[in-house]
Structure 1
């Protein structure tokens, strides 16, 4: 049979139903090019592995996108996960998310703590509770995945508590405040513990305006605000590593905490969709129409999390100094010199401290006034209730007296009628 088929091909050529060779080449080349593009755009895969049983990991932004994948992968390796979320643990969605994560990873050590990154007071409450624990709570890793952005064309917004620009607050100042208060807990970890602070970033920082340049309403834009917050976070990461290294441990051993930056690349997250759609229904329609192209060129959340997982799981990093930037699961250079500029870092640190101090004082005054107003309102409600009770009591007494008077009157009338009846009978008998 094979010989007959081969001889037929040699003598008569290809059968008429067989596609033209050039068409096969074109189709094959197209499919190959698309597959190669998808493979390249998906980025590198983290090959590192590490037993995470017994290790405690704090994660912000761990309920969606890259953060959710990171939380799953670490929990699946046995880590105790503490999710910092804006919603309270009693929120139905959050409770269901935590239960589902526990079931999928067969790990019951997954918890949620309410921390609103747009509120300095909320951050301080959580971090202070963590630091005040005696003996110091175990803390092996902090992963700061939470971030926000304003869609193109959106307006500048401010936090309700302190009036700080929202992107700057959530993307930078919240992380600065959280790590600043948690410093004692990080420094208190035993020397044999590998402590890592992982800060995801974005390549948009390259186009950010300098941190010392004026950035007011007139030159504000969503893209510049996001890029500037990421640049500030990277400058702070370098300064924070130096802050940790300068600490003299009581046991005189070297510092065991390291700060790593991870660039996950462009990923199909909710934030990216919000950016591409410009936060509009028309933009969402266009996004759905071009989704095949988006799928081809952007990473999935799973692939976007690979570099973060590399920074968390790579064993060789325990022997490396902190302050490194990773992209595609390998170390890369910073594209800007001002990231390692100590003068820029010093000014940023001092300005952030002053801003937080001022904002917390103003917020404390607002809370005090609000508390006084609430207490005054409660007191007024209490007094009103007491007046109402007294009036009700007086009204009840008045009604009681009135009823008694009516009963007495009715009794007197009955007695009079009876007396008159008796008198009439007596007169008739005589």
Structure 2
């Protein structure tokens, strides 16, 4: 059969049903270009594998987007996950999410702790409870995946404590959390591989300079600047925090073992990216769905975006090299801005953040004290009202009892006055 067919091709040419070769060439070229684009935009896979059984990992942002993918991959390798969320532990969504994650990964060492990153007070409550444990709790890794943004055209918002939301969640909350957990990190044994994985985004390249007066002033605020500034601040802090850990002198005289790794996961199809592209509007969402092919083609999936986090969490190179490395596409890259390494910028940022936290916490403590005093006064008023009601009820009962007794006496006297014959006898 092949020989006659080949002979017919040689002597008679292509059969009439065969497509146009030029059309095949164009279609093949287009499909190859699409496949190459998708392959390139999807990024690299993590090639480092490591068993994480028995290792305790604190993870923020582990319920959606890239954080959810990181949570699943770490849990599937046996890590004991502690998810830090703003939800209460009894929240139905959180309970169902954890149960589903346990079943999918066959790992029942997955828990949740309430730690609202929009509240300095809530962060302090969780972190102080963690470090107050005696002996010190095991802590192998902290992965900070939580992030937020305001869509283009959105309005500036503040937390209940009066801090701009993007700055608070993306930077200040992590600064506050790691600052309080610092003793727990330093207390880990020398032979324990402790890592702090801090996320960033290439938007930090276009960020304005880190000036605290501009950070807190609404006239310098735009959604893009706020997000980029928060990512630049995280990178500057990550470098400074590594130096802070390296400067610590252990009681055993051994060098510090904790390493900070900065991760740029790239652009992915996450809820945050969807909010950014759709501008938080229904029309934008409709356009996003219509042109979803382009989002699928040029943006990573959360799973692929999580690969750099997994590389930072598992590759052995980070044990042997100094901390503070930047990872992108599962390889080490250089920072695109010199001020990330600038000690003067880091010092001003650290001091400004400390001062802001101290001021806000004092004001919040005063507000909570006043609120507590008001609640106490209301409770006392309520108790006083209840006591008055009890006394009045008791008085009314006594009055009713006396009225009944007087009524009985009067009725008895009336009966006696109506039967004089019996009294004569």
Shared fold, TM over 0.5:
yes
Question: After the TM superposition, which residues 96-111 of structure 1 pair with which residues of structure 2 at under 5 Å, given as runs?
Answer: 96-111=96-111
How many angstroms apart in 2 are the aligned matches of 1:23 and 1:393?
Answer: 100
SS of the aligned residue for 1:125 comes to helix
* 2:89 match: 89
How many angstroms apart in 1 are the aligned matches of 2:377 and 2:284?
Answer: 49
Question: After the TM superposition, which residues 281-292 of structure 1 pair with which residues of structure 2 at under 5 Å, given as runs?
Answer: 281-292=282-293
Q: Post-superposition shift, 1:415?
A: 4.5
How many angstroms apart in 2 are the aligned matches of 1:218 and 1:415?
Answer: 96
SS of the aligned residue for 1:197 comes to strand
SS of the aligned residue for 1:50 comes to coil
How many angstroms apart in 1 are the aligned matches of 2:414 and 2:20?
Answer: 122
Q: Post-superposition shift, 1:4?
A: 2.4
Question: After the TM superposition, which residues 312-327 of structure 1 pair with which residues of structure 2 at under 5 Å, given as runs?
Answer: 312-327=313-328
* 1:308 match: 309
Q: Post-superposition shift, 1:317?
A: 1.6
Question: After the TM superposition, which residues 380-391 of structure 1 pair with which residues of structure 2 at under 5 Å, given as runs?
Answer: 380-391=381-392
How many angstroms apart in 1 are the aligned matches of 2:227 and 2:383?
Answer: 49
The CA deviation string for residues 166-201 of structure 1, in whole angstroms up to 9 with x for no partner, is 111111111111111111111111111111100011
Q: Post-superposition shift, 1:18?
A: 2.3
SS of the aligned residue for 2:214 comes to coil
The CA deviation string for residues 206-232 of structure 1, in whole angstroms up to 9 with x for no partner, is 000000273422221011001001101
* 1:133 match: 133
How many angstroms apart in 2 are the aligned matches of 1:97 and 1:288?
Answer: 26
How many angstroms apart in 2 are the aligned matches of 1:264 and 1:14?
Answer: 50
Question: After the TM superposition, which residues 255-270 of structure 1 pair with which residues of structure 2 at under 5 Å, given as runs?
Answer: 255-270=256-271
Question: After the TM superposition, which residues 195-206 of structure 1 pair with which residues of structure 2 at under 5 Å, given as runs?
Answer: 195-206=194-205
How many angstroms apart in 2 are the aligned matches of 1:255 and 1:118?
Answer: 31
How many angstroms apart in 2 are the aligned matches of 1:5 and 1:244?
Answer: 75
How many angstroms apart in 2 are the aligned matches of 1:86 and 1:259?
Answer: 25
* 2:71 match: 71
SS of the aligned residue for 1:95 comes to helix
* 2:193 match: 194
Q: Post-superposition shift, 1:33?
A: 1.1
Q: Post-superposition shift, 1:107?
A: 1.3
SS of the aligned residue for 1:403 comes to helix
How many angstroms apart in 1 are the aligned matches of 2:155 and 2:71?
Answer: 32
How many angstroms apart in 2 are the aligned matches of 1:217 and 1:357?
Answer: 21
Question: After the TM superposition, which residues 243-392 of structure 1 pair with which residues of structure 2 at under 5 Å, given as runs?
Answer: 243-392=244-393
How many angstroms apart in 2 are the aligned matches of 1:29 and 1:361?
Answer: 65
SS of the aligned residue for 1:150 comes to coil
1:154 partnered with 2:154: yes
Q: Post-superposition shift, 1:72?
A: 1.1
How many angstroms apart in 1 are the aligned matches of 2:117 and 2:255?
Answer: 32
How many angstroms apart in 1 are the aligned matches of 2:378 and 2:288?
Answer: 50
- Highest CA radius of gyration, 1 or 2? 1
* 2:7 match: 7
Q: Post-superposition shift, 1:94?
A: 0.5
How many angstroms apart in 2 are the aligned matches of 1:415 and 1:166?
Answer: 87
Q: Post-superposition shift, 1:68?
A: 1.0
The CA deviation string for residues 98-137 of structure 1, in whole angstroms up to 9 with x for no partner, is 1111111121111110001111111111111111111111
Q: Post-superposition shift, 1:75?
A: 1.1
How many angstroms apart in 2 are the aligned matches of 1:211 and 1:393?
Answer: 69
Unaligned runs of 5+ in 1: none
Q: Post-superposition shift, 1:25?
A: 1.5
How many angstroms apart in 2 are the aligned matches of 1:364 and 1:218?
Answer: 28
Q: Post-superposition shift, 1:286?
A: 1.2
SS of the aligned residue for 1:164 comes to coil
* 1:20 match: 20
Unaligned runs of 5+ in 2: none
* 2:181 match: 182
SS of the aligned residue for 1:260 comes to strand
Q: Post-superposition shift, 1:12?
A: 3.3
Question: After the TM superposition, which residues 156-171 of structure 1 pair with which residues of structure 2 at under 5 Å, given as runs?
Answer: 156-160=156-160, 162-171=161-170
SS of the aligned residue for 1:214 comes to helix
SS of the aligned residue for 1:83 comes to strand
* 2:232 match: 231
The CA deviation string for residues 356-390 of structure 1, in whole angstroms up to 9 with x for no partner, is 11111111111111110111111111111111222
TM-score normalized by the length of structure 2: 0.96
* 2:52 match: 52
371-380 or 403-412, larger mean C-alpha shift? 403-412
Q: Aligned pair count?
A: 421
Q: Post-superposition shift, 1:261?
A: 0.2
The CA deviation string for residues 391-416 of structure 1, in whole angstroms up to 9 with x for no partner, is 22222333333334344444444554
CA RMSD of aligned residues (A): 1.6
